[in-house]
């Protein structure tokens, strides 16, 4: 805890495993804001002064009584004026702290005026009036203990200003009862100071917690903004690089295709024909990679738009399976389809949905063992949505590996999986595209027992056959 008067400019507060620095300027400013959060103590002091003037009228000489009352009310008016000015500048810690000395002086003066009031104890002969005066000064000290302990210099000035004149008056009379009252007053002051310090420690700890929270929240917001900016820069860079790479790749693919087909005459040696085929296949592979990177960057930037086509799911899955069968046959993996004949159509981006199915099929074939089977099923869900399932009996994944597999550019590092080419974009891209259509993709897998990928699309994207016919007719 940092108490007022501490010379250390900065405090290090530990929050869990973090250390947060809190300047004394901020701490004092927050203590002053808490001290001056309300004008009620000012109006309470003014109201008590008016009650005292009425109660003591005729008991104390009028010049003394009304002179004290006018001074006290004027003093409270000055407190109120400065309180209003402080409320207008309290947002800035540097400005707020400059008010510490003026308010300490003001509250010391206010305490002294209450001390002068109590000093009139011996000016009154009536016992009940004396009791009233002691009650007033005790009430004001108690109220100060509640209102002013947030900032100890103010509290000390107020309490010592109010009690020391009283104690001096009791001790000055040098009688047994007066000396006893003076001693009790000093003991009472000691108790007030002890309780005020304890209360101030609690209040200061709460203020420190508040400031620590504000610092941590600010750091988190700045870190979030920095991360988002870095993500935008990365996505922008990937998008630009993808476009820059596409142009030469298309040229490589186009010219190699012309040579491979020998459109302008025979190439000659058959080895040239083989080399051109390798160039063409490599170009197509790189273009698919660039397209995937571009799609990922668009999805992360929220810039990808999806069309609202009418998609025949059964036909699309069949086409994708036919496309992947050559690769599957080379790997010794079978592809089995289980598609109901009356499967409804979908409202989706046909190109993107085809991309999802091809990515899932390619992954399933790549990570299946020779002699295995990749099974594709589709059905309507109970809520009217559509469910597409791609299941393989390959090497499978653990739960931790599933998390990695769904992150862009991440691959499961093991001797088995590293045998397969890939960039780690297939599953993340498929998941993002499904979610872009309002659906979900989740993976159920066990190491050595295969993997099941389930794609679920909402009911609002399912189109019944009559509705599909109407849409097709309208489109025609």
Query: Kind of pairing, strands 334-338 and 373-380?
Result: parallel
Question: Which range has the worst mean pLDDT, 62-71, 296-305, 373-382, 450-459?
Answer: 296-305
What is the per-residue DSSP string for 85-147?
A: HHHHHTTSHHHHHTTHHHHHHHHHHHHHHHHHHHHGGGG---HHHHHHHHHHHHHHHHHHHHH
Close Cβ partners of 273 (under 8 Å, ≥ 6 residues apart): 260, 262, 267
Specify whether the CB–CB gap between 329 and 307 falls below 8 A: no
CA distance 9 to 28: 11
CA distance 140 to 136: 6
Specify whether the CB–CB gap between 86 and 97 falls below 8 A: no
Residue 91 pLDDT level (bands cut at 50, 70, 90): low
275-294, pLDDT tens digit by residue? 677 777 677 667 776 777 77
Specify whether the CB–CB gap between 122 and 61 falls below 8 A: no
> What is the pLDDT, as a whole number, of residue 313?
92
402-427, pLDDT tens digit by residue? 888 888 766 665 434 444 555 567 88
What is the per-residue DSSP string for 409-454?
A: T----STTGGGS---S-HHHHHHHHHHHTT-EEEEEEETTTEEEEE
Mean pLDDT to the nearest integer, 447-459: 93
> What is the pLDDT, as a whole number, of residue 272?
67
CA distance 63 to 177: 29
SS3 at position 211: helix
What's the chain's average pLDDT? 79
At 377, which helix (H) or strand (E)? strand 373-380
Q: Which structure tokens are listed for 199?
A: 């209360």
Q: Which residue has the higher pLDDT, 414 or 347?
A: 347
- pLDDT at 442 exceeding the cut of 70: yes
Q: What is the separation of C-alpha 236 from the centre of its chain, rounded to a whole number of angstroms?
A: 25
The verdict on domain 309-475 having CATH code 3.30.565.10 is yes
DSSP 8-state assignment for residue 459: G
| Domain range summary for the chain, segments of one domain joined by + | 10-223, 309-475
For 304-335, letters b (16+ CB in 10 Å) and e give beeeebbbebbebbeebbeebeeebeebebeb
Mean pLDDT to the nearest integer, 132-160: 81
- pLDDT at 40 exceeding the cut of 80: yes
> What is the pLDDT, as a whole number, of residue 306?
78
CA distance 169 to 174: 9
Q: For the chain, how far is it from start to end, CA to CA, in angstroms?
A: 78
Residue 390 pLDDT level (bands cut at 50, 70, 90): very high
């Amino acid at each position: 805890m940092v108490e007022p008067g501490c010379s250390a400019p900065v405090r290090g507060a530990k929050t869990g495993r973090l250390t947060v620095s809190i300047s004394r300027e901020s701490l004092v400013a927050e203590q002053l804001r808490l001290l001056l959060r309300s004008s009620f103590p000012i109006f309470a002091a003014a109201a008590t002064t008016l009650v005292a003037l009425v109660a003591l009228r005729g008991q104390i000489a009028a010049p003394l009584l009304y002179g004290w009352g006018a001074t006290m009310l004027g003093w409270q008016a000055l407190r109120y004026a400065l309180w209003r000015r402080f409320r207008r500048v309290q947002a800035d810690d540097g400005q707020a702290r400059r008010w510490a000395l003026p308010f300490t002086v003001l509250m010391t003066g206010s305490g002294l005026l209450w001390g002068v009031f109590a000093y009139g104890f011996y000016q009154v002969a009536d016992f009940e009036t004396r009791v009233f005066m002691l009650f007033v000064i005790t009430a004001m000290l108690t109220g100060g203990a509640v209102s002013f302990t947030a900032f100890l210099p103010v509290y000390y000035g107020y309490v010592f200003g109010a009690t020391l004149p009283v104690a001096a008056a009791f001790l000055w009379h040098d009688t047994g009862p007066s000396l006893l009252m003076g001693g009790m007053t000093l003991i009472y002051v000691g108790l007030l100071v002890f309780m005020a310090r304890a209360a101030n420690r609690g209040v200061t700890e709460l203020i420190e917690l508040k400031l620590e929270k504000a610092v941590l929240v600010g750091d988190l917001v700045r870190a979030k903004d920095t991360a988002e900016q870095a993500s935008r820069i990365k996505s922008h860079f990937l998008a630009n690089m993808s476009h820059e790479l596409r142009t030469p790749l298309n040229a490589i693919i186009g010219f190699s295709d012309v040579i491979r087909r020998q459109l302008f005459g025979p190439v000659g040696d058959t080895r040239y024909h083989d080399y051109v085929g390798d160039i063409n296949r490599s170009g197509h592979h790189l273009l698919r990679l660039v397209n995937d990177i571009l799609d990922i960057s668009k999805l992360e930037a929220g810039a990808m738009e999806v069309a609202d086509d009418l998609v025949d799911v059964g036909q699309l899955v069949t086409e994708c399976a036919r496309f992947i069968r050559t690769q599957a046959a080379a790997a010794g993996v079978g592809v089995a389809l289980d598609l109901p004949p009356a499967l409804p159509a979908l409202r989706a981006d046909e190109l993107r949905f085809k991309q999802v199915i091809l990515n899932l099929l390619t992954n399933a074939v790549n990570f299946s063992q020779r002699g295995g089977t990749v099974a594709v099923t589709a059905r309507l869900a109970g809520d009217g949505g559509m469910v597409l399932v791609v299941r393989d009996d390959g090497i499978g994944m653990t739960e931790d590996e599933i998390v990695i597999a769904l992150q862009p550019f991440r691959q499961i590092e093991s001797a088995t999986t590293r045998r397969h080419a890939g960039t780690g974009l297939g599953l993340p891209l498929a998941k993002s595209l499904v979610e872009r259509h309002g659906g979900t993709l989740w993976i159920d897998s066990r190491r050595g027992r295969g993997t099941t990928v389930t794609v679920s699309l909402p009911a609002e994207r399912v189109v019944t056959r009559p509705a599909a016919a109407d849409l097709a007719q309208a489109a025609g």
